[in-house]
Structure 1
């Protein structure tokens, strides 16, 4: 699967800012927690790397919460970057948006980084390479925040994906619809277990890997470069 393809669909892009918060439990709180965890180690005048920045939702939350931070956001989808510019509005003055992948980001060093709702599109090898590229752009001990689909070790990912699909559909989604949506996601997304996710982070060079967010099929970790 080409991870960029869905994010170049005009209908998906037009609905992204409204639909995504409904699909991810505690979406706004995830952003608030990310800011808190970044701020524990990042200075008041930090520069933060945001990988998978298209849409601009986390950038808007981060920039609104920390007036002294500046950001570099990278994303392969031109349409999603256009959406990010619209969503950011005047906050864009503190954000540099780049089309491409992590390899296209400046060398840094950055004071922190995030990669939210992105890594589940990547195979294990691609995920490891991406995390290594993020790691080498961070200052020593700088924080990384990641969040994406994952599943408890030893469990079937499709069960957790079905629960997330049901949550996203609210009362309009019955169990059969949720199961069908989960099967489609499981086929398209190379989802790892919690144990595998944490191992990849450590293999990429990160330490102090800790789970801070768990919501149905979504998990989030904080780690130190």
Structure 2
């Protein structure tokens, strides 16, 4: 995973992501609702891939008593998170790095949104295992990422639909179509079954799909 540091890409992150991820703000709210099923009023939550601060801000506004540890490899994206959070930054500590840079916890819940699809399977499994180690028994993990079948015709059909959504949301058509090849060439995307299998291998149980939007899928899982 290469940290995002290009200034134009960083400055346009929020607007761009909202255009290519269906229901982005609803995804954040749904994640907050799912965490709150088990997290107490004074919960400590780990947010991996926290750069930009969009989900952190949503969670903090939903749960004023929660405290957050946000981790991201990009210093520029963490700075954007600070600006995005505004007054809510008082509830957040940010850490530059990967999962190994995250505090040991234990946490009442964790999230990893729009991040795991950048990691090859072995690194993805290690990341999930390290999150598992940092959670309290019974604590939830919410993940969401690109996830689609590997068969060429099925994969291409869903990528085309995803590109059409981006174009309908205002992304230039050529750029939207170009994303199809970029995702196929650069992202080690797994199938939904492979994603669930990795969560199980990392030690998680009670795995439920809660979000299914073109090429994006989201699951809630729990540490036993």
Q: TM-score by structure 2 length?
A: 0.94
- Find the aligned partners of 1:173 and 1:166 in 2 and give their Cα distance: 10
Q: Which residue of 1 aligns with 2:203?
A: 205
**Partner of residue 110 from structure 1, selected from 107, 110, 128:** 107
Q: Which residue of 2 aligns with 1:99?
A: 96
- Find the aligned partners of 2:171 and 2:80 in 1 and give their Cα distance: 28
Between Structure 1 and Structure 2, how many residues are aligned? 221
Q: RMSD value over aligned CA atoms?
A: 1.5
Q: How far did 1:157 drift?
A: 2.6
- Find the aligned partners of 2:49 and 2:135 in 1 and give their Cα distance: 16
Deviations 1:55-92 (A, max 9, x none): 00000000010011000000000000000000000100
Q: How far did 1:10 drift?
A: 0.6
User: Is 1:132 paired with 2:129?
Assistant: yes
Q: How far did 1:159 drift?
A: 2.5
- Find the aligned partners of 2:105 and 2:178 in 1 and give their Cα distance: 43
The change in CA–CA distance for 1:177 and 1:64 in structure 2 (over 3 A counts) is: closer
Q: How far did 1:172 drift?
A: 6.3
Q: Does structure 2 conserve the Cα–Cα contact (< 8 Å) formed by 1:47 and 1:111? A: yes
Matches within 5 A, 1:1-225: 2-4=1-3, 7-152=4-149, 156-170=154-168, 174=173, 178-225=176-223
Q: How far did 1:180 drift?
A: 3.4
| Unaligned residue ranges in structure 2 (runs of 5+) | none
- Find the aligned partners of 2:211 and 2:132 in 1 and give their Cα distance: 21
Could you tell which deviates more after superposition, 83-92 or 161-170?
161-170
The change in CA–CA distance for 1:172 and 1:213 in structure 2 (over 3 A counts) is: closer
- Find the aligned partners of 1:208 and 1:167 in 2 and give their Cα distance: 31
Q: TM-score by structure 1 length?
A: 0.94
- Find the aligned partners of 1:53 and 1:164 in 2 and give their Cα distance: 24
Q: Secondary structure at the match of 2:134?
A: coil
